[in-house]
Each structure stands twice: as C-alpha cells, then as structure tokens.
Structure 1
Amino acid sequence: MNVNSVVKSIRNIMRQDKGVNGDAQRLEQLGWMLFLKIFDAKDEDLEDMDETGNYVSPIPEEYQWRNWAANDEGITGDELITFIDRELFPELANLKSTDGRTQLVRDVFGGNNNYMKSGQLFRQVVNELNKIDFHASKDLQVFGNVYETLLKELQSAGSSGEFYTPRAVVEFMTQMADPKLGEKVLDPACGTGGFLTAAIEHIRDAGVENIEQRKQLQNTVHGMELKPLPHMLAVTNLILHDIEVPDISYEDSLLRNQSIKGKNRVDVILANPPFGGNVDEATASTFPVGFRTKESADLFLVMMVNYLKQGGRAAIVLPDGSLTGDGIKARIREMLLRNCNLHTIIRLPNSVFKPYASVATNLLFFEKVSSPAEDMEEFATKEIWYYEHQLPEGSKGYSMTKPIRLEEFDKEKDWWENREESEVSWKINLSEVIEKAVQNAHPHYEKEKELKRAAYSLKEKLTQLKREDKTNGEIEKLEKQLRESESGARIAKQTADSIYYGAFDLDYKNPNKVEEDLGDPIKMLEKFRKAEQEMEALQNSILDELSDAFQNK
C-alpha cells in the first residue's frame, strides 16, 4: 500500500468539497480525522496490553473511529455530516474527565472544525484513511515522513507558515543543544511540534532501551501552543513519534511568566517563537515593567530566560530586530547578557523561512548562569562567537523547492569544537565593549546627577520664596533655571543611556568578509557614460529606421 498515493487521493477528494477552502483548511480537516484514527489505534493497543481488561478509552464507544468510520459501507451523505457536526464534535469537545488523554481529545475538538459539506466526499476520505494501518510499524514510519511533508507545506499556506521551522534548522539546533534522557525539554511556542519530535528522536538515538526510560522520555518533553490548528498537528505529530500522551498544553505560554517557579524550570529550551506580531496589553502587563513590550519575540526571550534552570541551555531562532534597537529591547538584551552566557550566534540568509517570511534570522545558543532576580553585577557573557551561514555555491536563495539542507550545517559543526576566525566567523569581546561603554557613559550620568541636585536645590529655593510671598523677578529667574536644569538632566541621561545600552547591540556584521572588488570608480564611471552613449546611438538609429519606413509607406 502506497501511503503517498493515499494522501494525494485524499487531497484531491477534499478539493472537490465546497466547504474546504485552501491548504490550511484541508490540513486542519485531515488533521483532526487523522488524530481520531490514530488515537483509536493507540486505544486498541492499550486494550491489548491491559491484561486486566479494565482499560476504558476516554472517547465514548459510539464516537470511536472503529465504530462509525472503519466500515467502508458505513453511514454516508447527510446522515454522516449531521453525525459529525451535531454529535461527534460537540460530545468530544465537552468530555468531562480531567486525565491527560481526555484533555487532548477535548482540546482538539474544542478548537478545530469540520469544513466538509458533502457526506459522500467525507466518506471517500474516510475510506482512503482506512487503507493506512497505524498498527503496522512500516505504515506508521512511512506516514510519519508523509506527515512531515504535509507540515512543511504549511510554509506556503498563508499565515499558517509561522508554525513551521525548516527541518534542517530544527535538527541542527537540537544536535547542538544536545538534550539528554532525564532532562526536561521545553518549546513554549511549539507550533506543529518540530523541535519536540527532533528532541525525542535525538534522545532515542542516544539510547532509550527499556520501559522505564520510555516513560521518562514521555514525561520530560513538554510543549505549549496557543492556536488550535498547530496544537492539534503537534499532538498528532508526537503520537506518530510513539509518545502515548503528548504533553502539549493548549494555552498562551506568555501568561505563565509570572507563575514560573523552581519546579517548572527546565534543562533545555528549543524554540522558534513568533516574531513580528503584537501581544495584547493584558499579556504584556504580566511582565516586569522594565521589559514590557508588545513585540512577541522579545517577551518570549524574557520568559525563556526565566524558564531555564541555572545551568540550563537554549537554542532559539530570533529575527535581526531582536538583536538591535534601543529602549526596552536594549534592556532585554542587557538582562540576557548579564544572566546568560550567549556564546554563539549563527546568522542565516534571508531566504531560509521563505515564502512565509523573508526577514533575516539568527540562531542563538546560550546557557543560564544566574537569575535576573539576583541582580548580578558581572555579565555572564564575556565573548560572543558569530558564524555567517553561506548559501550553497551557485544559489541565490532558498525556496520551497530548494530548502536549506542539514548537510549544509556540517561546516558549522566542524567549526563548533575548534573555533577560529575566518571569512565567515568572528568573535566579539563583549567585556571590552561593555567596559568602554561604561567609561564613556559615566561622565554623562555624573552630569545628570549634578543637574538633578541643582534642580532639587532650585525647587527648595522656589518653595521658600513662594512661602514668603515674594513677587519680584527672582521667582521667574529661578523657574527658568529649574527648567534648564531638568532639561539638561534629561538630555544627559539620554546621552548616557544611548552610549551604555549601545554596548548591547548584537547586530554585528562580519568584519572579515572580503568585499567584492568593483574596480576603480573613475573607470567604472567612464564605462557607464560610454554605455549611455551607445544606448543613445542605438535609440537614434531605431528612430531613423522607423522614420524612413513611415515615409516610404
């Protein structure tokens, strides 16, 4: 049985249905149907393994796939659509039990939709799905690969592309972060679960040999996802990777920042948080005042530092916009550099995330040294290594048909353990940068203090004069001096902040890059003028020929 041909047939059937519009809706439709079939297959496995015979599925018997879908001659037409829309979805979205598997079902059917309107076409899709045996390891493995291809297609499915990170990027980051069995792994914006499945397979490859270790792996990989479609796809993804009860919360992880305690902290974070979007005021207000912003990527960075244990490590994707900028952005980077050792930044080409996004992105690797609450004086980051990832030779950019490949990161892997500066790599001595910024900013901060003291003294004098009800020109003179002192203090602080926080601008360009030699500018200008003259002569020649042609007509 060819799994690829089954999936292709399903998509062609769905395209005929008037209720399903676009790739994202087709994937959502296929997603919840797959979830229900795979869940039922797992239920059957659990029933077979339960020697007591007491296992009961969280899905009521009449809604289990085997009892309404498995028979190819089963219900169809309007009866089937009515059953799906008025019975199956409402019942499964409102299951009462609170155990983990029940919660998964409730979240999936509470947040997704049945778009299909034709019961006949729906039955055809069901019958195609019945050709895949999710008990058979071969079918399961093949379908896992097909499912990854489906998720990849999210890149072109409108705004849904934000939920998918290229597999090569995910695997490289996971290999470098190197999560181990027993370590808690978190992706607080897990999308379709790419980082979680990569972590699972990475840990398995290192050795998961018995039932206890399988349970340990099951209980230490955790994700969070706010939107229903990627949440459902992530849950299904982990089930396909043999995780019995995926630990993926259906929630806004940013709202957790205030309540993170020691028991919640993790060893490893792998994430590509959403960027370019704004969060609402209520969410931003849950963060410390100095870090409050509506830029989602910046808030995720604050939260991820908070989530890491001391000694924990992270590998995350961030846009160029999070490496630079003043104000709150600069304070967030200061916090990161003070409390974490940001040892590596891999700079990626703009086209890695096309067609969903064309912004320049970076892979940041850091380890947590201290908590922001400890108010450390020393900075944990002393130096930062940069590596500029190169496009394959002859390539102008990545695309859907020519994505970035894992083997392209072999050069970074070779460099990782034996770092040297080159045309594509360089090191920034951050300690020196910060020390110089502190020295240069110091006179301006001192001037601010001096002007503030002067302003305070002037205020006291003004209060005394007003109390004595003096009406001569002294008050006006002092008020003018006060305004000048306060204004001067503000300017001095702005200048000092600009110098100090400038040290935390991480948007360093490659100083070792050999620029293309464009030649002598004077000779280039002469060539340009000659080309212009040749163009003008050609245009005149064409005009003359046209003129002759019209006159001879």
Structure 2
Amino acid sequence: MIAGELKSKIDGLWETFATGGLTNPLNVIEQITYLMFIKDLDDSDNRRKKDNILLGLNDYQSIFDGEVKIDDDLTVNGDELRWSTFKDFAPEKMFTIVQTEVFPFIKNLKNNEEGSYARYMKDATFLIPTPGLLSKVIGELDDIYRLMDEEVQKDNSKNKEKALIINRGDVRGDVYEYLLGKLSTAGRNGQFRTPRHIIKMIVELMNPQVTDKICDPAAGTAGFLVESAEFLQDKKKEEIFYNKENRHYFHKADCNK
C-alpha cells in the first residue's frame, strides 16, 4: 500500500503533469510508463554489467555501448541514451535527446533479450510538451525511485525473520496500482479533458450562429463554451457588434431560459 512521502511524491508528479500542460490522465499514465521503462532499461543494463564483472566475465554486450543506430538515418553515442546520463543535461538538450533519440531507440529495440519490451514500446509517442516539464518530471521520478528503494530496504528489514525478500518490483506494483486508481478517480471526476485542437475542430464543424443558445452539460473547464465564444467573436464579429439586438443577446443570453 502506498502511503507517506512516496504517496505525496506520486501525487506531486501527477500535479506536475497537469500544471505543465499534459492534462489527459490516459496520456499521463502512458508517459510515466514509458519514462519508467527508460529508467529501468538503464538500471537493468548497469546491474547486469556489474554482475558480469563480479563473476569475472567479460562477455556482456551493453545495448548502450559505442555508436547506436536509431534508424536508417541516425546513429548516436549510446551513452546519451542512458537515463543516468541525460538526466543531468540542461532541459533543452535533455528534451531534444529524449524526443529525437531515446523514444525512437526504445521503439526499435531488436535485441532478443529486450524483444518482449520492444513489442510494447513500438507505438511509444513522446507527448511531454516542454523542456521544463520533462526536466521536472525526470527529477521527480528519480525521487520516487529513491523512495521505492527505501521502502524495499525497510520492508526487508521488517520481514527478515520471515525470510521474505521484497524487491523493487513488488513496490512498483503498488505504485502502478495507485496510479491506475488515480486514473479511475479522474474518470469519475470528469477529468478526461478534450484536447484543444479537437475542441476547435468540433466547434468549427458545428458552426454556431449568433442567436444559438449553447450549453455544455459536461462543461468541466468550459473548453467548448470558451471556444464557441471565441469562434463567434472571430467569425461573426459584424453580426454581433454592429447589431444592437444580437450584441445584447450575445452578452446577456442565459442558457437556462
């Protein structure tokens, strides 16, 4: 069960996405999932490399070693694709690398060992809109991983007598369950917001007229109503402002009448 500082950090991450411009809960969950995969890919690679050295072996081939081919036209320094590397870059550089290199990289993983992951990553789309938001999200996810590891250590200490070993995957399951719970709550609270460009398209297709009464019974943040008003002011300016009756109707009409 998620509680305390870890719960607070996850709530804060959710709020960071909302204030940063990514408001659709489904998109938020999707982006968090992709970023967690990118973080885990780096952690897993580092762990396996250390195990290989510990066993005195030198046959481990990292997927980040040397020059890595992203697609037919792009080859990059593999080290830049690591979470542990790009997280320390300036926001603008980090944004460019994650958008143009890291996401195409995870979409095109062909390694047999990573094949199962690649199947689920092949449609990965980068939706985070600004460098500032990406930088903040990556910092907060690092904090969440740190807290997950602390939870693992704490739980293992408590369960030592029972020989019950808790790993990060167990805590991760709790974290993801909590995130999905937020998704469910968002649905009940009407927080599935229609993207702005879709609102604009629908209003243009409806082509509201000056004398229409416009009501949105599921207004939420009133996106359709605001866009309708802007549409009328832009497209029907003369009909509204140069006609006394229409001007009064536009400014005083009550959709409850």
State the Cα deviation string for residues 110-168 of structure 1 (Å, max 9, x = none). Answer: 2122211110111011111112236653483444312211123444566xxxxxxxxxx
Alpha-carbon contact 1:81-1:117 (below 8 Å) kept: no
**Deviations for 1:485-509, whole angstroms, at most 9, x for unmatched residues?**
xxxxxxxxxxxxxxxxxxxxxxxxx
SS at match of 2:63: coil
Matched residue type, 1:147: Y
Higher relative contact order (CA 8 A, sep 6+): 2
Q: Could you tell me whether the CA contact under 8 Å between 2:81 and 2:97 is conserved in 1?
A: no
Aligned with 1:55 (options 55, 60, 69): 60
Please say if 1:43 is aligned against 2:56: no
Question: Is 1:11 matched up with 2:42?
Answer: no
Report if aligned partners of 1:41, 1:135 keep a CA contact under 8 Å in 2: no
CA contact (8 A) 2:80 2:86 kept: yes
Match of 1:68 in 2: 86
Give yes or no for contact 2:128–2:134 (8 Å, CA) kept in 1: yes
Q: Is the 8 A contact 2:86 2:94 kept in 1?
A: no
Give yes or no for the alignment of 1:94 onto 2:108. Answer: yes
Counterpart residue type for residue 119 of structure 1: P
Query: Displacement, 1:27?
Result: 0.5
State the AA in 2 paired with 1:86.
T
Q: Which has the larger radius of gyration?
A: 1
2:29 corresponds in structure 1 to: 27
Partner of 1:148: 177
Letter in 1 for 2:43: A
Larger relative helix fraction: 2
**AA at the equivalent of 1:2:** E
Rate the CA distance shift 1:153–1:12 in 2: closer, same or farther, 3 A. Answer: closer
Find the residue that maps to 1:123 and give its secondary structure: helix
- Tell me, in whole angstroms, the C-alpha distance in 2 between the residues paired with 1:80 and 1:122: 8
Q: Secondary structure of 2:118's partner?
A: helix
After superposition, the C-alpha distances for 1:416-453 in whole angstroms (9 at most, x for unaligned) are xxxxxxxxxxxxxxxxxxxxxxxxxxxxxxxxxxxxxx
Change (3 A) 1:21 1:86: same
The amino acid of 1:83's aligned partner reads I
User: 2:137: which partner in 1?
Assistant: 125
Tell whether the 8 Å contact from 1:3 to 1:142 is kept in structure 2 after alignment: no
State the alpha-carbon separation in 1 of the partners of residues 40 and 110 from structure 2: 21
The structure that is strand-richer by fraction is 1
What is the root-mean-square deviation of aligned Cα atoms in Å?
A: 2.5
Q: Structure 1 residues 41 and 2 mapped into 2: Cα distance closer, same or farther (>3 Å)?
A: farther
Contact 2:94 2:131 in 1 (8 A): yes
SS in 2 for 1:113: coil
Distance 1:29 1:16 in 2: 15
- Evaluate the alpha carbon distance shift between residue 104 and residue 75 of structure 1 in structure 2; reply closer, same or farther with a 3 A threshold: farther
- Deviation at residue 62 of structure 1 after TM alignment: 2.2
After the TM superposition, which residues 58-457 of structure 1 pair with which residues of structure 2 at under 5 Å, given as runs?
58-59=63-64, 60-69=78-87, 71=88, 74-77=89-92, 79-97=93-111, 99-101=112-114, 103-131=115-143, 132-133=145-146, 137-138=152-153, 140=168, 141-155=170-184
Gaps (5+ residues) in structure 2?
65-77, 155-167, 188-257
1:89 and 1:10, CA in 2 relative to 1: closer, same or farther beyond 3 A? same
Deviation at residue 24 of structure 1 after TM alignment: 0.6
User: 2 CA distance for matches of 1:13 and 1:94?
Assistant: 29
Distance 2:61 2:8 in 1: 34
Deviation at 1:104, TM superposition (A): 3.6
User: Contact (CA 8 Å) 1:24, 1:157: kept in 2 or not?
Assistant: no
Cα offset for 1:11?
Answer: 1.0
Over residues 250-274 of structure 1, what are the superposed CA-to-partner deviations in whole Å (9 max), with x where a residue is unaligned?
A: xxxxxxxxxxxxxxxxxxxxxxxxx
Percent identical:
21
